[in-house]
């Protein structure tokens, strides 16, 4: 059987805790709802080191560069592991979970294809496809990694947005 006020064993009343809780709520706190392209909360990244380190839970994410792409009302949905590109990517899995839970999701910018096409004459052209680029796992040299390899060997830490045309081109 529970005592009337279990906090009395500590010499603290429920009213005191209520007052302190109200005070903390009034003061607010520094909530960072931004999510990196790797699919994990920005507050789980250490950008003081090079390369960046990302530790969303017991999992060590190989994210090499923190890049906030969305802001959400609840970051707890963004602790999943990347198992490939597109629907197997932690960012997409987190957005799906957040959407199902009716969390607020705000894009910090439209997902724009990150591909740079090098022409035969050496000129570099940035792909300008906007809106339908998906998070994709690439190698250090920029080659799209097969999803089965990501599942077996783990993600590379190089996450980019690529449109369908560029995914097929690389």
Number of structural domains in the chain: 1
Name which of 5-19, 99-113, 128-142 the model is least confident about. 128-142
Give this prediction's pTM: 0.76
Cβ-Cβ contacts under 8 Å for 8 (sequence gap 6 or more): none
Sign of the four-CA dihedral 58, 62, 93, 34: positive
**Cβ pair 64, 115 in contact under 8 A:** no
* Host domain of residue 135: 34-169
**Position 131 in a domain:** yes
**Position 156 in a domain:** yes
pLDDT digits (tens, 9 = 90+) for 118-149: 777 878 888 877 778 888 878 777 667 666 65
């Amino acid at each position: 059987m529970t005592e009337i006020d279990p906090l009395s064993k500590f010499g603290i009343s429920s009213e005191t805790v209520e007052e302190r809780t109200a005070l903390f709520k009034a003061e607010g706190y520094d909530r960072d709802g931004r999510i990196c392209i790797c699919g994990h909360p920005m507050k789980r990244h250490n950008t003081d080191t090079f390369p960046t380190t990302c530790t969303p839970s017991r999992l060590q994410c190989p994210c090499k560069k923190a890049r906030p792409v969305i802001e959400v009302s609840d970051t707890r949905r963004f602790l999943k592991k990347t198992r490939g590109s597109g629907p197997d990517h932690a960012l997409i899995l987190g957005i799906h979970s957040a959407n199902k839970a009716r969390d607020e999701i705000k894009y910090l910018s439209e997902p724009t294809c990150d591909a740079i096409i090098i022409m035969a004459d050496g000129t570099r052209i940035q792909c300008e496809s906007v809106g339908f680029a998906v998070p994709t796992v690439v190698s250090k040299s920029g080659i799209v990694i097969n999803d089965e390899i990501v599942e077996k060997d783990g993600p590379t830490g190089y996450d980019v947005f690529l449109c369908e045309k560029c995914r097929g081109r690389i």
